[in-house]
């Protein structure tokens, strides 16, 4: 693989870099782990979208640019280089939007997609439940259709990122308990402000509350908001999950702060350490740098495959698994060297410490597929190991629920 930019990629990189430099005051700088001024973040995303730098790979008729994954990767790299905060509607762009593009009606695409790209509407992904996280197909939130064709939804979701700020969400429900658990599911777009929707933020050990539990008490959803066919929700959900893993770990960019950023923060303190401890810290930084290169180049392999028209493979799972591990190692190292109260960024409501980041990152080992699920994917699809035994394969969901499975 040629790691140098082609002439077209170099020109694109120069264009993106010039825009970010010109608008650095409007775009702001990446702050701490808990920084989230929704109004400022929406305005930032709208500015980037209007310049052509959001939804680059989306089809033109969906509000995108019809560009390449490499163009998007260059934008991600240049935003990281310039310290520009990430997009507030990342879940909408990376997961919800592609699901609407592939499975939504023309009316849904017209109403939702461009507003999503400009962050006029924020979106969330309503999948996990108290009794079905990694085993997503075991979900119990039910949707029942009435004589008018509307659907009545009752149940609970949990660990829903940004639900407290969201205008819409994609909601996976059970519509038929008398078939195998993967076959009786249906996906909808849900208005997060609809009667019967209750959102309760969950306090995290970082001090923030980005995750939420969401309750549905006889929430009415028109059939026109269905995504895909009735009972075909698992196939629709796979579109979302594939996009999620690519968004979180498949593009070759670091999760959290890069090893170069961490090194800059700790350099002075490391130089003042006793020689024997200094050697240990340098060794850890070296290992982290090697890991980051592996993640980066594995991501480039995936981007090359996408550029050639191939579907994402297990590289996205491997990138996400390795990325979260490397990020946690770096945050742990910074806390050990600098101390719990050392600051790495300023936020609107104070400062963000390395310990804040250290507390946030374990959640990334759950989001987008737990480390255990990702290892299973790599074992089966890369190493050719046999799949785990599945005793529930030929049973209906109703039978499983009655058995307490």
Task: Judge whether residue 112 has pLDDT over 70.
Answer: yes
DSSP lists the bridge partners of residue 240 as none
Task: Judge whether residue 251 has pLDDT over 50.
Answer: yes
What's the pLDDT at 344? Answer: 66
Q: Among 101-105, 117-121, 227-231, 384-388, which stretch is predicted with the lowest mean pLDDT?
A: 384-388
Question: 316 or 395: which carries more pLDDT confidence?
Answer: 395
Average pLDDT of span 201-224: 89
What's the pLDDT at 382? Answer: 85
For residue 230, give both structure tokens.
């009735």
Does residue 196 sit in helix, strand or coil? coil
> What is the DSSP track for 41-72?
HHHHHHHHHHTT-SSTTS-GGGTS----HHHH
The string of pLDDT tens digits covering residues 129-150 is 998 877 888 999 999 999 999 9
What's the pLDDT at 356? Answer: 76
Q: Among 68-72, 158-162, 251-255, which stretch is predicted with the lowest mean pLDDT?
A: 251-255
User: Which residue from 374, 368, 376, 370 is spatially nearest to 95, judged by alpha carbons?
Assistant: 368
What's the pLDDT at 33? Answer: 44
Q: Among 129-138, 225-234, 294-303, which stretch is predicted with the lowest mean pLDDT?
A: 294-303
What's the pLDDT at 34? Answer: 47
DSSP secondary structure letter of residue 96? I
User: CA 291 to CA 256: how far, in whole Å?
Assistant: 14
Task: Judge whether residue 111 has pLDDT over 70.
Answer: yes
Average pLDDT of span 149-165: 96
| Report for 68-77, 216-225, 338-347: range of highest mean pLDDT | 216-225
What's the pLDDT at 128? Answer: 93
Long-range CB pairs of 39-48, under 8 A, 24+ apart, other chains included: 41/85, 41/87, 41/88, 41/119, 42/88, 42/119, 42/120, 42/122, 44/84, 44/85, 44/87, 44/88, 45/87, 45/88, 45/89, 45/117, 45/118, 45/119, 46/118, 46/119, 46/120, 47/23, 48/87
pLDDT band at 101 (very low <50, low <70, confident <90, very high): very high
Average pLDDT of span 208-218: 90
DSSP lists the bridge partners of residue 168 as 123, 191
pLDDT band at 326 (very low <50, low <70, confident <90, very high): confident
- 9: enclosing H helix or E strand: helix 7-22
What's the pLDDT at 35? Answer: 47
Strands 197-201, 212-221: parallel, antiparallel or unpaired by DSSP? antiparallel
Task: Judge whether residue 18 has pLDDT over 90.
Answer: yes
| Contact between residue 32 and residue 71 where contact means Cβ atoms under 8 Å apart | no
| Contact between residue 379 and residue 359 where contact means Cβ atoms under 8 Å apart | no
Average pLDDT of span 89-101: 94
What is the value of pTM for the model shown? Answer: 0.83
pLDDT > 90: what percent of the chain? 44
DSSP lists the bridge partners of residue 145 as 151
> What is the DSSP track for 120-160?
SS-EEEE--BTTBSSSGGG---EEEE-TTS-EEEEEEE-S-
| Report for 1-15, 80-94, 365-379: range of highest mean pLDDT | 80-94
For residue 134, give both structure tokens.
């990694």
Active site residues: 244
Average pLDDT of span 168-174: 98
Please report the domains of the chain, with CATH numbers, ordered by start residue. 7-88 (1.10.540.10), 123-233 (2.40.110.10), 250-369 (1.20.140)
């Amino acid at each position: 693989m040629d790691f140098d930019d082609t002439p077209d990629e170099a020109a694109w990189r120069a264009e993106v870099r010039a825009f970010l430099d010109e608008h650095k005051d409007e775009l702001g700088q990446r702050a701490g782990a808990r920084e989230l001024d929704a109004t400022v973040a929406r305005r930032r995303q709208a500015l980037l979208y209007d310049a052509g730098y959001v939804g680059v790979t989306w089809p033109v008729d969906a509000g995108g640019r019809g560009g390449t994954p490499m163009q998007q990767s260059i934008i991600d790299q240049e935003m990281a280089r310039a310290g520009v905060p990430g997009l507030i509607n990342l879940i909408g762009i990376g997961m919800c939007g592609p699901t609407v593009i592939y499975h939504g009606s023309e009316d849904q695409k017209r109403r939702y997609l461009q507003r999503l790209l400009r962050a006029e509407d924020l979106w969330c992904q309503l999948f996990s439940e108290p009794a079905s996280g990694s085993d997503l197909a075991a979900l119990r939130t039910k949707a029942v259709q009435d004589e008018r064709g509307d659907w009545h939804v009752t149940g609970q979701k949990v660990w829903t990122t940004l639900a407290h700020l969201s205008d819409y969400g994609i909601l996976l429900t059970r519509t038929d308990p008398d078939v195998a658990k993967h076959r009786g599911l249906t996906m909808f777009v849900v208005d997060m402000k609809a009667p019967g929707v209750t959102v309760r933020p969950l306090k995290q050990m970082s001090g923030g509350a980005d995750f939420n539990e969401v309750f549905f008490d006889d929430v009415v959803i028109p059939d026109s908001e269905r995504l895909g066919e009735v009972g075909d929700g698992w196939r629709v959900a796979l579109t979302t999950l594939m996009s999620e893993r690519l968004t979180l770990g498949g593009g070759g960019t670091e999760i959290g702060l890069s090893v170069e950023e961490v090194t800059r923060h700790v350099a002075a303190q490391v130089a003042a350490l006793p020689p024997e401890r200094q050697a240990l810290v340098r060794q850890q930084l070296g290992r982290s740098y090697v890991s980051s290169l592996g993640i980066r180049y594995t991501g480039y392999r995936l981007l090359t495959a996408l550029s050639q028209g191939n579907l994402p493979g297990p590289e996205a799972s491997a990138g996400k698994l390795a990325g979260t591990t490397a990020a946690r190692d770096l945050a742990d190292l910074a806390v050990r060297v600098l101390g719990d109260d050392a600051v790495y960024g300023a936020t609107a409501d104070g400062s963000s410490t390395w310990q804040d980041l250290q507390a946030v990152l374990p959640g990334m080992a759950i989001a987008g597929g737990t480390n255990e699920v990702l290892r299973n994917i790599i074992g089966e699809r890369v190493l050719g190991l046999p799949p785990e035994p599945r005793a529930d394969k030929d049973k209906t969901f109703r039978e499983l629920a009655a058995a307490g499975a």
